[in-house]
Structure 1
Amino acid sequence: MKFLISNDDGVYAPGLLALYRALSKIGEVVVVAPNAEHSGSASSLHISQPLYAQKLASGFISVNGSPADCVYLALNQLYCETRFDCVITGINAGDNLGQNVHYSGTFGAALTAQVFGVPAIATSLVGGTMSDDEQQRSRYDLAAAEIVKLLTETSILDVIGQLPEHVLNVNIPPITCAKDIKGRKVTSIGYRQIEQPVHHIVDPRGREAYWLSLRKRQPLSSETEPFQPLTPESATDCDDAAGHTVVYTDYQAVTAGYISLSPIRLSHTPTTTLNTFLNTTL
């Protein structure tokens, strides 16, 4: 198997290195990643400035651009003659749950691969950080091993290969050992309110500034996040007491100790919405 990997935490991020080491045991791996952190860059492209690619001593290629730039450049220039089985991005330092996928550079890079018809998986470690201490390295290694298991013990590559315009968004719960993983859940994208979207600060020179935040408000202990009803084309997960088919959200899955697998479609215009407008006199 041949893999292209990238991320939004930068070419030296511990999650990227762990993913590279793990995937190298099962296939050929090429790394094209940003030379600096680009969290929150979504699928942005730099089309008003040139990109420079530098090959590092490690063999990785560092690019002065966004995660989407890296995948775009790799597929259409640097490795345009290579047929990749999958583009895998991450392992992101921290979760990409709920509405975060709309802003995530990790997800945006995977989305860019799918735009060009290459199966893509975005991966994140809940609670992961950019720290390079032994504990964090161990957690990323465990997460990377779970990604390899997903690829080798299931038919996931065949499944996403048959689903054009879809990206698989994977979130691994905060683990310290493999036995902590309860299993895998196919999930929907959840939603949580942002605790404080904008932080107003004053810099050391007395100038007002604003720091954007995606930190979510934690649900109260008395609150429960509702299970999501499944549409006929959705995968069955379990049934509630009333016999209705339900599915975990990504938040629920990782909170319960499961790996969350969220298939996300790139097309944002559902057929039912089109029919609503077509049947309406505007």
Structure 2
Amino acid sequence: MRFLLSNDDGVHAPGLLALAQALSAIGEVVVVAPSEEQSGCASSLSVSKPLYAHQLPSGFVAVNGSPADCIYLALHELYCNMDFDCIVTGINSGANLGQDVLFSGTFGAALTAQIFGIPAIATSLVGGGVKGKKAGKRREPEDASHYKVAAEEIAKLIRETAILSTCKSLPYHVLNVNIPDVHSSAEIKGRKITTLGHAQIAHPVHHMVDPRGRDAYWLSLRKRKNAYAASALHDEEGDETTQLPDRQALNPLYQQPCEVAGVMTDDKAVAENYISLSPVRLHHAPKAALETLSSLAL
């Protein structure tokens, strides 16, 4: 079994290292990842600049581009003579739940793989302390042991279930996996097939004035407090939050993502210490939408 790995936190990220180590126990691992953090770049490709790749002492290949660039370059040039059984991205530092998958570089890299017909799994470690736990006004380093637990769970998922063969039968799907941030596997209750949830963003844009007096804007996907209940996912003490109007009030056609009977949303699953497995399909024109638009006189 051969895996191609990438991420959006950069080639030196602890989650990528843990994932490579865990999957090396069950197959051959090739790593091609961004040389620097590329969070929030979705599936963007660098078509207006050249890409440069160099191999690190670890054997990992670093690329000066996006996660999608890394997958694209690996499949069509760097390792074009290799066949990969699965492309796994992550382990992302922080959750990729609900609508966040649209912006995630971790998910975007997996989507790029699936476009070329290779089973793809995007993985993330959920938890408010993933990028460094808050200790007073300082941040502590990331706990690599938590990534090790998450990586071992991903390896078990691939080794002990038929997830890969099933994913091969689902074209244009990415399996989006979120793992609770726990100290040991014993704290994980199990796995749940889930749908994507939806949580409101606390403060989408932070306005500031730079030292030269210019207006500057920092975009944020941070969710409202308690948006993901027990996971304490994004918010930290002292964070500013803004009460946004209800989406239904803004747009009467907006509908909250509904739960399939007996299927939890991803945010609820991880809040209850389950591993969330969400099959996400893109490049898809829904039948109902086609029928509605086809009825128009265009």
| TM-score for both structures, normalised by structure 1 | 0.89
| Residue pair 2:195, 2:259 contacting (<8 A) in 1 also | no
Give the structure 2 partner of residue 96 of structure 1. Answer: 96
Pairs within 5 Å for 1:77-92? 77-92=77-92
C-alpha distance in structure 2 between counterparts of 1:131 and 1:53, whole Å: 29
Give the structure 2 partner of residue 156 of structure 1. Answer: 163
C-alpha distance in structure 2 between counterparts of 1:217 and 1:175, whole Å: 22
Percentage of identical aligned residues: 62
Give the structure 2 partner of residue 260 of structure 1. Answer: 276
| Residue pair 1:39, 1:104 contacting (<8 A) in 2 also | yes
Give the structure 2 partner of residue 217 of structure 1. Answer: 224
Letter aligned with residue 171 of structure 1: N
C-alpha distance in structure 2 between counterparts of 1:7 and 1:13, whole Å: 8
Give the structure 2 partner of residue 65 of structure 1. Answer: 65
Residues 1:187 and 2:217 are matched in the alignment: no
Letter aligned with residue 251 of structure 1: D
Give the structure 1 partner of residue 211 of structure 2. Answer: 204
C-alpha distance in structure 1 between counterparts of 2:211 and 2:20, whole Å: 40
**Per-residue Cα deviation, 1:156-190 (whole angstroms, up to 9, x for no partner):** 00110111100000000121111110001100000
Aligned match for 1:272, one of 270, 281, 288 = 288
Aligned length, in residue pairs: 264
Q: For 2:262, what is the secondary structure of its paired residue?
A: strand
Deviation at residue 52 of structure 1 after TM alignment: 0.3
C-alpha distance in structure 2 between counterparts of 1:219 and 1:135, whole Å: 22
| Residue pair 2:95, 2:126 contacting (<8 A) in 1 also | yes
Which blocks of at least 5 consecutive residues in structure 2 are unaligned?
A: 134-139, 230-255
Letter aligned with residue 276 of structure 1: T
Change (3 A) 1:125 1:229: closer
Pairs within 5 Å for 1:208-247? 208-219=215-226, 228-230=258-260, 245-247=261-263
| Residue pair 1:227, 1:246 contacting (<8 A) in 2 also | no
Deviation at residue 227 of structure 1 after TM alignment: 8.8
Which blocks of at least 5 consecutive residues in structure 1 are unaligned?
A: 231-244
Give the structure 2 partner of residue 16 of structure 1. Answer: 16
C-alpha distance in structure 1 between counterparts of 2:3 and 2:132, whole Å: 26
| Residue pair 1:228, 1:248 contacting (<8 A) in 2 also | no
Letter aligned with residue 277 of structure 1: L
| Residue pair 1:5, 1:88 contacting (<8 A) in 2 also | yes
- RMSD, matched Cα: 1.8
Letter aligned with residue 129 of structure 1: V
**Per-residue Cα deviation, 1:198-242 (whole angstroms, up to 9, x for no partner):** 001122333321110000113478xxxx99343xxxxxxxxxxxx
Q: For 2:101, what is the secondary structure of its paired residue?
A: helix
Residues 1:36 and 2:66 are matched in the alignment: no
Deviation at residue 267 of structure 1 after TM alignment: 2.1
Give the structure 2 partner of residue 129 of structure 1. Answer: 130
Residues 1:168 and 2:175 are matched in the alignment: yes
Give the structure 2 partner of residue 241 of structure 1. Answer: none
C-alpha distance in structure 2 between counterparts of 1:135 and 1:101, whole Å: 23
Q: For 1:246, what is the secondary structure of its paired residue?
A: coil
C-alpha distance in structure 2 between counterparts of 1:134 and 1:40, whole Å: 22
C-alpha distance in structure 1 between counterparts of 2:143 and 2:226, whole Å: 26
Deviation at residue 33 of structure 1 after TM alignment: 0.2
Change (3 A) 1:147 1:270: same
C-alpha distance in structure 1 between counterparts of 2:213 and 2:51, whole Å: 35
